[in-house]
Amino acid sequence: MKNLFVIAFRNLFRNKRRTILTSSLIAFGVVLVIVFGGLAISFKSQMVGILTNTAMGDLQIHSKGYVESIDNLPLNLTLSGQKLAGVEKMLKAIPEISAYSPRIKFGAMISNYAQTSNIRMSAVYPQMENRTVPEFAKRIKGKISDPDQFLKPGEILVPDNLMKGLSLKIGDEIVLVATNKDGSVNAVTLRIAAITENVFGPSGKDGYMHIQDAQLLLREDEPEIVEIAIHLQKYDQLSKVYTQLKKEVNTSDSNLEVHTWEQLSPFASIARIVDLLILVVKFILISIVLVSILNIMTMSVYERISEIGTIAAIGTPPRRILSLFLIEGFAMGLVSTIAGIVIGLGILWILNITKIDFTFGMMNISLAPSIPVGEVIMVAIIVIVVSLFAGFQPAYKASKMEPVDALGHN
């Protein structure tokens, strides 16, 4: 077997130019997959991290039917009292959940006494919200000494575009007017504590207030929670926890629903497109390897027909001839893969040092491209397997040649 490898490598370099060109093409395909894969995985990870850690959380719990009517921000589909306590007890019993945040969401009107505009309000407990969306504080413009207390009773966070549209500044007082679930209109006066940047785009009108103020405004005797956002210890536990929560909810209360961020955010489609692009690039790699190896092995067999006839005539079994050509295809795939992986990882290392910063929508993305070891191993296996597959047809043809016919070939 060792001799076969030596002969295979020697045969590959009979035509150095062709071998180097083919190997370079395969290595380029490997580099393309590793670099693009590293960038795409990093982009997806950053985008998901921004969405889940600044706004949505990894999962959310609502009353059944709320998501379907979320555009209207209904206040009649809520959790309170024993129902809310039961959900909180359930969440605390799951070790994979690191934090959760009850929220009241409703539509309101904001006024500076001269102008009025509509606003979507999220009423939260600051400490619980900060633990659930730990990057939220980065969206706040203003002096926040303690992220766990980014909001106090009597204060409001107003989105940047409304601050500009209503000519407001930090420290100004505004009037917030809302209609509660019974239809009565109420108002509270709040002081602007800070400005929020909207992660979903410049047209966002999402403000934040303390739950105590929301209770007063909506005339609730106790908090009537619309949504519970959930943060996990590790993101890769999402599927497991989602399945567990869904089972718990279906068992204990059929009026609740559990959703992942992917089911709630339109940005999930972008994440799926990124996954699709990675698959397309892998398909391109397979095509490059298949065509390259098939071409060079077919040419090699054609040029060496007389040689094949000679080694067959002296008693070399067809199995050994088949192995020789398969090893040549395998060797080219192996060397090209190693070279491509080294170059690809080198490029990712350089990109990590230089950093790639850009804005996607209102999200500031800073790519630190890397690729999982498993992904690199999978790329290597794909190339080597395809190399063997591509080399099999010409190798099989060579092993089945009759010595007389091969020796008579000009």
- In this structure, the answer to whether residues 274 and 331 fall within a common structural domain is yes
What does pLDDT average to over the chain? 83
What pLDDT score was predicted for residue 356? Answer: 75
- At residue 383, what is the residue type? V
Q: Identify whether residues 230 and 92 lie together within a single domain.
A: yes
Note whether 45 and 162 are same-domain residues: no
Task: Select from 254, 285, 305 the last residue of a domain.
Answer: 254
Task: Establish if 216 belongs to a structural domain.
Answer: yes
Q: Which residues of 259-292 are buried (b: 16+ CB within 10 A; e: fewer)?
A: bbbbebbebbeebeebeeebeebbeebbebbeeb
Same domain flag for 231 and 302:
no
Do 84 and 190 reside in the same domain of the chain? Answer: yes
Q: Give me the residue label for tokens 């505009």.
A: 117
pLDDT in tens, 288-303: 777 777 777 677 666 6
pLDDT at 59 over 80: yes
In this structure, the answer to whether residues 128 and 249 fall within a common structural domain is yes
Task: Note whether 99 and 161 are same-domain residues.
Answer: yes
pLDDT, tens digit (0-9, with 9 covering 90-100), for 63-83 = 888 888 887 888 888 888 888
Q: Please report the pLDDT score of residue 324 as a whole number.
A: 75
Domain assignment present for 166: yes
Residue 328: closest CA among 16, 10, 18: 10
261 found inside a domain: no
Nearest C-alpha neighbor of 33 from the set 391, 368, 343: 343
Residues 395-407: pLDDT tens digits? 677 667 666 655 5
The answer to whether residue 138 is domain-embedded is yes
- What pLDDT score was predicted for residue 228? 94
Would you tell me how many other CB atoms lie within 10 Å of the CB of residue 97? 21
> Are 89 and 142 in a shared domain?
yes
**Residue 352 in tokens:** 């990590």
Residues 166 and 45 in one domain: no
Q: Which residues contact 108 (CB under 8 A, 6 or more apart)?
A: 118, 119, 120, 121, 176, 177, 178, 217
| Per-residue pLDDT at 312 | 66
The pTM of the whole model exceeds 0.85: no
Residue 288 lies in a domain: yes
The CA-based angle 255-59-218, given to 5 degrees, is 60
In a domain, 260, yes or no: no
Question: Cα–chain-centroid distance for residue 317?
Answer: 52
**pLDDT at site 333:** 82
Confidence (pLDDT) at 231? 95
pLDDT tens digits for 152-210?
Answer: 999 999 998 898 889 999 999 999 999 988 888 999 999 999 998 776 555 568 899 99
The domain total for the chain is: 2
What pLDDT score does 157 carry? 93
Same domain, 215 and 348: no
> What mean pLDDT do residues 364-370 have?
75
Residue 393's contacts (CB-CB under 8 Å, 6 or more residues apart) are 294, 298
CA distances from 99 to 45, 237, 285 (A): 20, 14, 42
What pLDDT shows up at residue 383? 83
pLDDT tier for residue 304 given thresholds of 50, 70 and 90: low
Dihedrals φ, ψ of 310, to 5°?
Answer: -65, -50
Residue 179 φ/ψ, nearest 5 degrees: -105, 130
Q: Are residues 309 and 380 in the same domain?
A: yes
Instruction: Single out the residue in 196, 220, 254 at which a domain terminates.
Output: 254
Q: 281 with 33: CB under 8 angstroms? A: yes
Tell me which residue range forms the domain holding 323.
Answer: 2-50+269-407
pLDDT of residue 232: 94
| 15 shares a domain with 81 | no
Greater model confidence, 73 or 240: 240
